[in-house]
């Protein structure tokens, strides 16, 4: 529910249904409005839960980034010339090269020894023949040993290269997995951050972060209890932060509603509410969202005064009016809330040319919505700093919203119109 923006609709509907008003009045006087079906927001996580999820997602992402960095460093280490397996592989390759060279020499020694045997003359002695044969046998044995040594060295090279390459492949695979994990963690972190940001923009739609705050008060002074059509009156709206904490943004709210003497015909188009800040003498019309510039910030115990002006067209008939005021606050951490009661200051509208004389100031109406023990919700976007009236923003304005039963009952804030119609007359 969005009580503040729909106030005009609620009140206008109420005053066109006098039978309903009269039936609602006892409920206002004697108890709480009937409970209504609420939007199913209980399944939505709170901002606190979203903040926890976002923090967890960030921690997981940070861990993933760290793991990826470690995996990258590990891969670079396996590719380094100083890596133990790389050093071992190079050593094996060097040993294999030496073994290959030794085998070549051994094979050549066999060839040379065989040539000596083949070159012996027929006149060679038995001793010469035996010596040549012995050298050939020894050369052949050395060649066989060199062959076996080379085979072992070649096998060692293959084993060393396989170990080095396996380590590199494993490191590359771990880096790929780490990069994928980082990408997934980043996606989770982004989603968590976006969910949290959206919830903060919505002002805590689950109702746990927007809370009633009766110590944020809005008080009207100087508004006459009778205003003559064709005139304008200035009065003051004071917004006070009675809490012990600074409110980052406070949005004052005001709305005026009026009817003719019968209470059945709205004359809202003939009454105009304007405001001016203490720092500017320019009057601004309260826009269709009924909010004024944000007070940023409003410190604990501090107040801000807003100059207000009510203008009534000369063509307005004698009738009745009420000026509703309230205030909402929004903090940078996503928490929000506002005063739970809309104060309605009732006044009479006297016909143009009337001379009502000295009149008292308008007082808050005695009939108010009962908002005790009612949870709050908020609309779909958080306000931005700056003049809402000046920008004419059409985005949904966040505000403290009461339970839907109270939303219906707020129309009974116009019950005083029926009472006035019965109780008194004016010029």
Q: Residue 324, SS3? A: strand
Contact status, residue 322 vs residue 256, Cβ threshold 8 Å: yes
List, for residues 46-77, the tens digit of each pLDDT value.
Answer: 778 888 999 999 999 999 999 999 999 999 99
Report, as an integer, the average pLDDT of 154-175.
96
Q: 10 Å Cβ neighbour count for 81?
A: 7
> What are the structure tokens assigned to 128, written together?
């010469």
Report residue 394's pLDDT band, with 50, 70 and 90 as the boundaries. Answer: very low
∠ CA 266-267-269, rounded to 5°? 120
Residue 209: what pLDDT? 56
Averaged pLDDT of the chain: 78
Asked which of 40-49, 107-116, 309-318 is least confident by mean pLDDT, the reply is 40-49
Give which of 234, 243, 229 is closest to 327, Cα–Cα.
243
Q: Residue 194, SS3? A: helix
Residue 414 is given by DSSP the state: G
Residue 373: what pLDDT? 37
Residue 3: what pLDDT? 36
Share of the chain above pLDDT 70, in %: 73
Report, as an integer, the average pLDDT of 158-166.
96
Residue 365: what pLDDT? 74
The rounded distance, in Å, linking the Cα atoms of 78 and 85 is 8
> What are the structure tokens assigned to 80, written together?
């380094």
List, for residues 364-374, the tens digit of each pLDDT value.
Answer: 875 443 334 33
Exposed / middle / buried, residue 119 (Cβ in 10 Å: 0-12, 13-18, 19+): exposed
> What are the structure tokens assigned to 118, written together?
């083949």
Report, as an integer, the average pLDDT of 354-368.
82
> How does 237-253 read in b/e, with b if 16+ C-beta sit within 10 Å?
bebbbebeeebbbbbbb
With the C-alpha atoms ordered 75, 78, 82, 84, is the resulting torsion angle positive or negative?
positive
What kind and span of H or E run contains 237? Answer: strand 232-241
Phi-psi region of 109 (alpha: psi -120 to 50; beta: other; left: phi over 0): alpha
Report residue 379's pLDDT band, with 50, 70 and 90 as the boundaries. Answer: very low
Residue 317: what pLDDT? 96
Residue 333: what pLDDT? 81
The rounded distance, in Å, linking the Cα atoms of 49 and 139 is 85
Asked which of 15-24, 173-182, 201-210, 281-290 is least confident by mean pLDDT, the reply is 15-24
* Cis amide prior to 297 (ω within 30 degrees): yes
Residue 226 β-bridge partners: 348
Beta strands in 288-379 (DSSP E): 303-312, 319-330, 336-338, 343-350
Q: Is the pLDDT of residue 192 over 70?
A: yes
The rounded distance, in Å, linking the Cα atoms of 402 and 57 is 34
Q: Is the pLDDT of residue 348 over 70?
A: yes
Contact status, residue 55 vs residue 188, Cβ threshold 8 Å: no
More confident residue, 28 or 103: 103
List, for residues 281-312, the tens digit of each pLDDT value.
Answer: 789 998 767 888 889 899 999 999 999 999 99
Report, as an integer, the average pLDDT of 305-328.
95
Report residue 402's pLDDT band, with 50, 70 and 90 as the boundaries. Answer: very low
Sheet holding 216-221, edge to edge: 216-221, 232-241, 303-312, 271-276, 284-285
Asked which of 30-39, 81-90, 280-289 is least confident by mean pLDDT, the reply is 30-39
Q: Is the pLDDT of residue 176 over 60?
A: yes
Contact status, residue 277 vs residue 295, Cβ threshold 8 Å: no
Residue 203: what pLDDT? 54
More confident residue, 261 or 42: 261
Q: Which of 64-73, 271-280, 407-416 is predicted most confidently?
A: 64-73
Give helix then strand counts, H and E, for the chain: 8, 11
Residue 342: what pLDDT? 81
Residue 47: what pLDDT? 79
The rounded distance, in Å, linking the Cα atoms of 14 and 20 is 7
Q: Residue 151, SS3? A: helix
Q: Is the pLDDT of residue 172 over 70?
A: yes
The rounded distance, in Å, linking the Cα atoms of 166 and 137 is 43
């Amino acid at each position: 529910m969005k009580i503040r923006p729909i106030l005009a609709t609620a009140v206008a509907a109420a005053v066109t249904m006098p039978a309903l008003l009269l039936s609602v009045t006892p409920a206002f006087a004697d108890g709480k409005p009937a409970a209504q079906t609420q939007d199913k927001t209980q399944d939505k996580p709170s901002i606190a839960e979203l903040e926890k999820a976002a923090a967890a997602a960030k921690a997981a992402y940070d861990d993933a980034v760290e793991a990826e960095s470690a995996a990258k460093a590990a891969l670079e280490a396996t590719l380094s010339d100083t890596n133990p397996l790389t050093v071992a592989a190079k050593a094996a390759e060097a040993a294999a090269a030496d073994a290959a060279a030794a085998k070549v020499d051994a094979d050549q020694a066999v060839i040379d020894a065989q040539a000596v045997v083949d070159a012996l003359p027929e006149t060679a002695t038995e001793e010469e023949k035996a010596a040549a044969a012995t050298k050939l046998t020894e050369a052949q044995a050395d060649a066989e040993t060199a062959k076996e040594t080379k085979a072992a060295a070649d096998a060692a090279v293959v084993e060393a290269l396989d170990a080095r390459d396996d380590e590199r492949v494993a490191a590359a695979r771990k880096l790929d997995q780490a990069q994928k994990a980082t990408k997934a963690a980043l996606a989770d972190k982004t989603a968590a951050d976006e969910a949290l940001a959206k919830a903060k923009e919505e002002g805590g739609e689950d109702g746990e972060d927007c809370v009633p705050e009766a110590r944020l008060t809005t008080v009207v002074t100087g508004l006459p209890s009778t205003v003559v059509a064709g005139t304008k009156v200035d009065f003051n709206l004071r917004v006070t932060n009675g809490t012990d904490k600074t409110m980052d943004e406070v949005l004052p709210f005001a709305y005026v509603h009026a009817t003719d003497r019968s209470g059945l015909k709205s004359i809202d188009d003939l009454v105009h509410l304007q405001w001016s800040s203490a720092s500017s003498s320019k009057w601004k019309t309260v826009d269709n969202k009924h909010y004024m510039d944000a007070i940023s910030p409003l410190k604990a115990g501090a107040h801000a005064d807003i100059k207000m002006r009510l203008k009534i067209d000369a063509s307005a008939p004698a009738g009745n009016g009420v000026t509703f005021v309230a205030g909402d606050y929004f903090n940078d951490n996503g928490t929000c809330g506002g005063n739970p009661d809309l104060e309605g200051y009732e006044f009479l509208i006297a016909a143009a040319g009337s001379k009502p004389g000295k009149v008292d100031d308008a007082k808050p109406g005695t009939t108010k919505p009962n908002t005790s023990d009612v949870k709050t919700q908020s609309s779909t976007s958080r306000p931005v700093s700056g003049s809402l009236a000046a920008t004419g923003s059409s985005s949904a304005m966040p505000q403290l919203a009461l339970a839907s039963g109270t939303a219906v009952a707020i129309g009974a804030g116009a019950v005083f119109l029926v009472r006035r119609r019965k109780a008194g007359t004016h010029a």
